Chain A
């Protein structure tokens, strides 16, 4: 394992993007920061720019308006970069799958840019903060050493 990969796995920086969600998953993601769940003790924190991010946390169905921006975000993020799809909407489109503004799901949008992207799915509506943390930890194991 390189020093870089070791450092990444020890302290993963997350960038949060909402591409058309009801905001519940977003609140649960921010909830992970709060004292009850406190992901900062794992070295995880939210950052303000995709360029600093090791993982992009995506919620929402990926609307037509948001899709090009999501793809641009992914391009800007330094690789390797995990994509965590939080919630049923990000995983599959959920109950909004039949809507006319749906242009995802998120994994197809990301794979258009990078077919080798590492994508983790945390289903739920919304997934509990414990599930999100578990999902992030599991996804870390998928990063090649």
Chain B
């Protein structure tokens, strides 16, 4: 990890200390911060306002135990991407919206709502954005239990072996 990245890691650890986060650098330009959902909005505010990060996007991800939302901030002056990872459980599926802090998060959160069903509390405009008007309510295409024509929710062991053989040059 180079010196600039190390400095950012230290600054982040210091500033976000009260949220009991974990800050991990991978490579020289990528930092991952895990922050509990109750602190997510405040951590986002700190990254946007105090660290002058630019929200590139947010990734929603359905994992076996929970639904994660990763907010990716670019620190353009040093070419570093800081990812704030937070989570919510699948049943309640709610997080505080960041769109009330700055407009850039508006569309980004609406997309995660459409595709994963995460509800963002106090979002100024929680309408459907990218799914069709006649798309059924409550069906979220990026959830693991949503099947498309190529039904693949698990990768069978034999297929893993097969594709390894085929793709190795």
Complex formed: what's the CA distance from A97 to B134 in Å? 19
Pair A65/B133 contact, Cβ less than 8 Å: yes
**Hey, which chain A residues are within 8 Å of B135, CB to CB?**
64
Contact A99 B148 (CB under 8 A): yes
- In the complex, the answer to whether A98 meets B131 with C-beta atoms within 8 Å is no
Q: Say whether B149 contacts A101, CB under 8 Å.
A: no
Nearest chain A CB to B54 CB, angstrom units: 26
**Assembled-state Cα–Cα distance A98/B131 (Å):** 16
- What is the count of residue pairs linking A and B with beta-carbon distances less than 8 angstroms? 18
Q: Kindly state the separation between the CA atoms of A78 and B165 in the bound complex, as whole angstroms.
A: 56
Report which of B131, B133, B150 forms a contact with A101, defined as CB distance below 8 A. B131
Which of A63, A100, A101 is most buried by chain B, counting CB atoms within 10 A of its CB?
A: A100
Task: Give how many B residues have a beta carbon under 8 Å from the other chain's beta carbons.
Answer: 10
Flag if A64 contacts B132 (CB, 8 Å).
Answer: yes
Main secondary structure of the interface of B (DSSP, over half): loop
Point out the residue from B133, B146, B150 that lies within 8 Å of A98, measured CB to CB. Answer: B150
- Which residue of chain B has its CB nearest to the CB of A68? B134
Q: Is the CB of A63 within 8 A of B132?
A: yes
> Which listed residue (A64, A97, A100) contacts B146, Cβ 8 A?
A100
Whether B148 and A101, one on each chain, are in contact in the complex, defined by CB atoms closer than 8 angstroms, is no
Chain B residues near A101: list those with CB within 8 A.
131-132
Instruction: Show the binding face of B for A, using Cβ within 8 Å.
Output: 131-135, 141, 146, 148-150
